[in-house]
Structure 1
Amino acid sequence: MGISLVIGTMLGFLMGLSERTYVFLQPLNMVIRSVPIVSWLSTVILAWGIGWRGVVFIVFVSLLPVVTFNVCEGVRVVDKKLLEMARIYSVPVRRILKEIYLGSIWPFLVSSIKLSIGTMWKVAIVAEYLIGETGLGVRIMQAKFYVNTVEVFACTIVAVIFGLILEGLFSILWERDFFEVHS
């Protein structure tokens, strides 16, 4: 998720600033978002085989379009009059980036994180199930193989609990203004 946030933020920022970049990258972003996870999994198996790298890649490629799109929209909604005023008063570019652009994209980025937490967890488990060496997904796959329904349900409950804990932690941090941008 961290890799998606870093790369998606950079790409989204570029797409939001430049109409040419947007026209060039938006179709690619839409294609990546539309490719089924199973297709990515098949490609990863052919490229890297079984292992953690494939799981990380699948999570990354699943979350990247969400982050990229949200950050791009955050940049595109920046008040043009505010930018014009900053230029008129010779506000340094660094301050414009930090206080105007970052202030604009921040709610979009936080929204991306909120959306990505649940998706990340589900995608990671599916990827582990099919191409992982360890993890809950592997445990579910093994339990299925041995027709151990109780373990399948137990692992599923553990996955749900961890997903809820992650979302709960994020909500607590959000409510305590941990994610607020301070100048």
Structure 2
Amino acid sequence: MEKNKQNSQKKFSYRQEFFSFCLGIFVIALLIQILGKAKGNPLVFPDIFEICRAFFRLMITPKTYQCILTTLLHLVTALILSFLAGILTGIAQGASSFLRKTLAPLMIMLRSIPVIVLVVIIMLLTDYSKVPYIASTLVLIPVISEAVCEGFLNIDKDLIDVYRLNSSFSPRILFSVYLPLMTGFLRQAFINTIGMGMKIIVSSEYLVQTKNSLGKAIYSSSYFNDYQDIYAYALIMILTGILLTKLPIFIIKKVTEN
């Protein structure tokens, strides 16, 4: 009886969340319509129905999926590299107050530097094809590092003392003790990096003209004044980000419940 009640509450929560999300999309569409009417420029602010037509047209175009795949490969590469570097630097900062203070200026610089400046610097140092994931990796490392460091500092010290009685610090202890205790911080860092990483990568692709990418597609649309396509690509990016954020968490919840 109690289990059925919990399941019904979860279903209601999912429906409420879905309704709220749809309401948010409606508000965005309404704002675009209001801005279009206020500006009086249908070229820059096209009708919402025109944007929807452009969206569905792009969704049945094979090249759109090629662009999405290119951008996703850049994003996945950046996430893997930034999480590896961020976890190592975060644990190092959490374990050592000296390292935390020493690396603080570098982390602040990477987090604060304008993307366009960072992209230009990387363009001068390496091949254009590597710019999107290098730029996004450098910007995402501080986000992950800060979350890991915060999680490390918030671990119950009694639990740390227990494992120290039986073993010294090792990779096995890292993966079996530290990281599981920092799951909440890592999950939040993952959610934050998806949207931020997508924006940085698409901006980088736009600046370096990465072939068959969302950034290049947006550049082409702006060059030909196809603003309805730009809004449609923005919608595709939002939906892709939501899918990448929600799907892994949903799968993990289902696996743990079963």
Class of the TM-score when normalised by the shorter of the 2 chains:
0.7 to 0.9
1:156 correspondence with 2:234: yes
Which digits, 9 at most, give the CA deviation of each residue in 1:116-151, with x for residues without a partner?
Answer: 111111111111111132201111111111112232
> Does 2:81 correspond to 1:3?
yes
Q: How many residues align?
A: 177
Match of 2:156 in 1: 79
Q: 3-state SS of the aligned residue for 2:210?
A: coil
Once residues 184 and 88 of structure 2 are traced to their aligned partners in structure 1, the CA distance between those partners, rounded to angstroms, is 16
TM-score relative to the length of structure 1: 0.86
Tell me: CA distance 1:146–1:12, structure 2 relative to 1, closer, same or farther (3 Å). same
**Is the aligned partner of 1:69 residue 2:146?**
yes
Deviation per residue, 1:28-52 (Å, 9 max, x gap): 1111111111111121222235x33
- Structure 2 equivalent of residue 103 of structure 1: 180
Counterpart amino acid of 1:73? E
Pairwise CA RMSD: 2.1
* Deviation digits for residues 59-84 of structure 1 (CA, Å, limit 9, x no counterpart): 10121110010111111122223323
Tell me which amino acid in the other structure corresponds to 2:200.
V
Query: Relative to structure 1, is the Cα distance of residues 81 and 163 closer, same or farther in structure 2, using a 3 angstrom cutoff?
Result: closer
Structure 1: gaps spanning 5 or more residues: 179-183
Whole-Å Cα distance in 2 between the matches of residues 54 and 167 of structure 1? 24
Equivalent-residue separation in structure 2 for 1:66 and 1:169 (angstroms): 21
Q: Provide TM-score, normalisation by structure 2.
A: 0.62
Which residue of the other structure, out of 95, 118, 134, is the alignment partner of 1:40?
Answer: 118
* Residues 4 and 64, structure 1, Cα contact 8 Å, conserved in 2: yes
Trace 1:135-146 onto structure 2 (pairs within 5 A): 135-146=213-224
- Paired residue for 2:169, among 70, 89, 93? 93
Q: Report the Cα distance in structure 2 between the residues aligned to 1:150 and 1:104, rounded to whole angstroms.
A: 46
| 1:131 corresponds to which of 208, 223, 246 | 208
CA distance in 1, matches of 2:182, 2:154: 9
Gaps of 5+ in 2: 1-78
- CA separation of 1:45 and 1:112: change in aligned 2, threshold 3 A: same
Distance 1:132 1:176 in 2: 40
Measured in 1, the distance between the counterparts of 2:240 and 2:135 equals 19
Say whether 1:18 aligns with 2:108. no
Moved more, 144-153 or 60-69: 144-153
Q: Secondary structure at the match of 1:154?
A: helix
Q: Is the 8 A contact 1:12 1:69 kept in 2?
A: yes
Paired AA for residue 121 in structure 1: M
In 2 relative to 1, CA 147–167 (structure 1 residues): closer, same or farther, beyond 3 Å?
A: same
